[in-house]
Amino acid sequence: MGRFVSVHAEPPAMEQRKPPATEEGWYVLHDCRSIDWDAWREAPQRVRDRALSEGIDFLSAYEAVEDSEAGQTAVYTVLGHKADIMILHLRPTMGDLDAAERHFEQTEFAAFTEQEFSYVSVTEASGYTEKSREYFEGKSTTTPGWHSTSRLASTPTCPTRSSSVSTR
């Protein structure tokens, strides 16, 4: 009978790389909805008028950022997917996003829509460049390059209204 020799070799240690430091910016809700066109066509004109009025009032208030100290809201048509529209909210806190989504759900217009999908993203400035790493490590003050990056993270803007969004 043969002998079995057991060898316990340690795998070579892999270099642990740290992800770049980040500084959170704003929160973005991407709320993609389809419109129930059959229900819309079947609804009496007074119901459709009220739904449109509530939808316009909601969007006007949110585009004017009456719900929060800062932010933006925009509505886009969506091409090539289940959704017909996307309501995009940019706000400084998750609570502001939650309130925006809940407020829309209370409108009569929302009754004619179905949320196909939604997701939250976070804008952030990161330490990918040497200058920004130095900033995060406290080795330098704000640099022009870092300043433009951090300004984008702290005050994002929605694309223009004439844009369409394609989600292939």
Do residues 72 and 158 touch, judged by C-beta distance below 8 A? yes
> Which pLDDT score is estimated for 22?
59
> Which pLDDT score is estimated for 167?
44
**Spatial separation of the C-alpha atoms in residues 92 and 94, rounded to whole Å:** 7
Please tell me the least confidently modeled range out of 63-77, 82-96, 123-137: 123-137
For the beta sheet containing 22-35, the strands, ordered from the edge strand earlier in sequence to the opposite edge, are: 113-126, 22-35, 85-91, 72-79, 165-166
pLDDT at 91 over 60: yes
Q: What is the pLDDT of residues 23-39, one digit of tens each?
A: 667 889 999 999 999 99
**Going from the N-terminus, what domains does the chain have, and what CATH number goes with each?**
22-123 (3.30.70.1030), 126-156 (no CATH)
Average pLDDT estimate for 132-147: 64
